[in-house]
Each structure stands twice: as structure tokens, then as C-alpha cells.
Chain A
């Protein structure tokens, strides 16, 4: 039996209800769109880059509690970080939610994740990994300056449609 309270922690419910940095950013230097075809979640990440550093970040969109909270906490987590630091955080986060070992052979260290650690429960719910990671994939594309719409549906077992 998986733990529902491990998934819907207070911090996640709070960020879902009151998402931080939830606004469009007309002066953004970078932005990217993410879309999950299976559940219809949409997110847009806006970045203002100061050289190599993310000086401001915001998001807009609609989705489930996991994807909304993930985007909200992402904005708090990457503000002020360099491009490389943000990408490294994405890797660590991805390992956390997929339950994979991190690149250096160790399980992700919760202290390195800070508030992102509240998403540790996601690994118990494989169908929800794509919800948690949508904003991060979109951030990655925004940093790359890619115009392609991110899609995370392959994070789940098999994408497809059912009546």
C-alpha cells in the first residue's frame, strides 16, 4: 500500500492552493511551453536571465495539484541559480521522483533538494511522475531557448488513449 499522505504533503497542497510566482512575465528573456496530452496539464515557464544567472522566474498554466505545486516550488528553487545549477537540480529532482539512483551512484540527498524533497512520495505513484516533472522539462527547454512544446507523457508507462 502506497502512502497518500506521502504524495499530498501539506507543502504541496499549500503551493497548489497558493502558487508562488504565478504570473506572466512580458519582459522575460526566455520562455517555454509544456503540455501533457494525457491529462491536459499546461505550463509556461518564463525566465529573465542575467548573463548565466536566472534573475527572475515565473509560471502560468493549469493542471493537477502535483504539477501546479511542482511548478510553484520550482520557481522558488531556481531563482538566483546559474544555468548549470538549475540543470543539476533538475537531474536530482528527476532521480527523486522516478526513484532512480542519482548519477553518482547515491540516492538523492534530501538536503541537496531543500523544499523539493516533498516530492519524494511521487516515486510511489508511477502514473504521477509526469505531473511532477512537466515544469522541470519545460524549464530545461526555456534554458535551451527551444521553441518546441515539451511533452512528458512518455514519463508514464505507455502513452495512449482510452475511451
Chain B
């Protein structure tokens, strides 16, 4: 089976089965992994910050700029038609990736952050009043906190927070108590970037819907690891970022139910989002274009589509199964190190290992690991309330992807031991 050939491997072949998952062949697809850092082979364990890109994504970008570069939805000429087709094809790929009912429910935005801001500034501004409430959770990234705070400040609305336990799991019974007549939206992460917790979003959506409250899911950390089915979940909004899904930076998706999107006012005004303009009155375009003012990020949308193709070829089920094995191994090995404590021990977890070392600041650990060629994130992970909840200033975070290996986990363990030796 020619798993190295990126182009010939269609979905639904036996390569989707875990038996055929060959991490070493997969690594061949990622040129950036083939380098030395500080004289050591690169061990890239910062995938929750951003993922690396397979050659097929780089090729798609190159192909667009060398063959098809043109503006979309405008020209009648050949290049514009090619660009438009590639751009809209990517929308359909995103639709299928999320199992959305229709492609017009896929809005291209800069990323998860912009997607959440869009909902807060359009849906929120239209539907929120003084005394209304937004429910988020204790493990949110700043990008699913601050847009709601801005909205609350503007409207005199109130932010409510679902608490979590010491393992980093949300307390659903507390969530039910927070829901009331004034709740206008529930916005929670699918997967926590700082802890790795996979939230029971199906249950959360069900509970919220019982109270007739719509739900936005921040899927930035989930999309690279978990099969998403927005219809099955019945979520109202879902957001993701291409760059965490092996695609380019600067592009992402806001999924919204068509009826909700249609009722929302536009986010930005400009070209492409209108159907007619006079100085007296402007008629807005239909969704999704109503929310895509100006020339979009065409190349990166096409690259994003290539990233989805790549993930589909490897198969999310294979990815999830492999990563789970790697996570279990890494957790076992790291917890053997004296003085190491893992932060985030939820039963349902994605491949994120946040940890602290007794008496050693994560920043020092990060510098020493970097000298070993190991890239990890150190700091508060844009989730300062999470750090406050655990009473720590920061953690060291190793976040895994399906191209990481057991050998790389071993390198991390050796590196962490070196850190503890230096500070012994």
C-alpha cells in the first residue's frame, strides 16, 4: 500500500484502518520535521499552538499562486473562474468535514478568534440586553472569554462561568443551575487547550437546548483530533482554525445554522457582502457572503481545503486512536519523573500534557528543552483563569499530533530529567 503517495490515496481505503497507520511514512509528508534545532533532531510538541503543514498543503498554495491567482466571485475570465471554483470547493470540503447540512452555513473567517467575535458582535449585539447572561466555562481560552466580556460591558449583560473539578472536568450539575430565563448563549470549548479535557458538548448542548438557549462550540483544539458532526450535535455555532488542522494560518471557519446566520446582521461592510448599493440603501448578500466582506483570503482557503483532504486521507479515526496510544504512553512515562505533576487529568482527554515541576519555573524548563531540540509551550496558554484555578503561574505543555512518535516522547522524558538535574 503506497501510503507515502499523498495524491493517490483515496478516502475509505484500508489506509483508514489503524493497522495501516505508519507514523514514519506520515512524517515524510511534513518537510519541516526534517531539521535539526540546536544540533538535535527537531521534536515538535507544540501542536496545540499550531500544527505543521504537509507538502500537499504547501503544493496547493503554490499551485494557486503560480496557476490560478485571481479574485473570486467577480471576473468572467478563466482565472477568476478557477479561483472561484477552488475557493467554493474548499467551502464544500469544510461542510463535509463538519457534516453541516449546507455549504452556505460555512463562513470563512480569519480563525476561531474572529469567528467568536463575529457571533458576539452580530448575534450578541442584536439579541442581548441589560441583565441578560452569557455562560462560558472555567477552562476557556481568552478568545472565548474576552469577546463576551466586551459584549457584556456594552450591553450591561452578565458573564457566568461553569466551574470545573481538580481534574479539569466541567461540573454539569453546576451548569444546569446557571441556566435561567436570562441566559442568551452558552459558549464552551470542545477541547481545552491548556488541559486537554474533552468536554461533553453533546450533553451541554442538550441541556442548553432544553432551556431554549443556543450553543457556540470553540472547536479550535478539537478539529485536529475528533470527528465533528454539527448536525448530530445539533450545535448552533461551531468554530475552528485551519492552522491547527495542518492548514495555513489566517483562515478558519464559523459554522452556524442557516436560520441563525440569516437573521444576524452583517459583521463588516464592503465588497462581496452586498447585493445592491445606493447611497440611500444597501441590500445585503445572502449567506455565507453576507459575512465575507472584501476580497477573502483565497489562497489560504484553498490551502485549508488541502489540509482537510490530507486529514481525511489519514482518517480522523486513525489519528484519534494513534494519539490516544501516544498520550497514554507519554502520561505513564512523565508521571514516573519525581516532582512532576500533570495539570489536567480528565478521563476524556486529547493529546495535551500540561505539567509543572516542583520548584522549577516552566520558562526555565522550556529553555532547557529547546536546547535539546524539543519545542514545547511554556506559560499560561492564553488561559489565565485556568492557571488561577490550579494556583500556578504557568505550565509546560507538550501537545501531540499524529506525526509524533514514541521516540519523541522518550526524548521529552530525557529532556525533562535533564531539567530536574540542572535544578537539583
Chain A residues near B (Cβ < 8 Å): 1-2, 4, 7-8, 13, 16, 38-41, 62-66, 68, 125, 127-128, 131, 161-163
Contacts and interface: CB of A to CB of B under 8 A. Distances in A.
B363 A64 contact: yes
9 contacts: A2-B38, A4-B371, A8-B422, A13-B422, A40-B387, A66-B363, A131-B363, A163-B49, A163-B381
Nearest to A40: B393
Contacts of B420: none
B193 interface: yes
B244 interface: yes
B378 A163 contact: no
A125 B364 CA distance: 11
B220 A163 contact: yes
Contacts of B380: 40
Contacts of A39: 361-363, 378-379, 393-394
Contact of A163 (B48, B387, B423): B48
Contacts of B423: 13, 16, 65
A4 B40 CA distance: 14
B394 to A, nearest CB: 5
B382 A125 contact: no
B394 A163 contact: no
A43 to B, nearest CB: 12
Interface in B339-381: 360-364, 367-368, 371, 377-381
B19 interface: no
The 8 A-B residue pairs with the shortest CB-CB distance, nearest first, are A64-B361, A64-B363, A40-B393, A162-B49, A161-B382, A65-B364, A1-B39, A163-B193
Contact of B393 (A7, A16, A62): A62
Nearest to A131: B363
Interface string B149-171: 00000000000000000000000
B141 interface: yes
Contacts of B244: 163
Contacts, number: 69
A7 B49 contact: no
A75 to B, nearest CB: 19
A71 B361 CA distance: 15
A42 to B, nearest CB: 8
Nearest to A39: B363
Given A64-B363, A65-B364, A162 B38 contact: no
B69 interface: no
A163 B221 contact: yes
B422 A128 contact: no
A2 B361 CA distance: 20
A13 B380 CA distance: 24
Given A66-B363, A125-B367, A163-B381, 14 more contacts: A7-B367, A39-B378, A41-B363, A62-B393, A63-B393, A64-B363, A65-B360, A65-B423, A66-B364, A68-B361, A127-B367, A128-B363, A161-B142, A162-B382
Contacts of B39: 1
Contact of B394 (A40, A65, A131, A161): A40
Given A7-B367, A38-B379, A162 B50 contact: yes
Contacts of A127: 367
B38 A65 contact: no
Contacts of A40: 379-380, 384, 387, 393-394
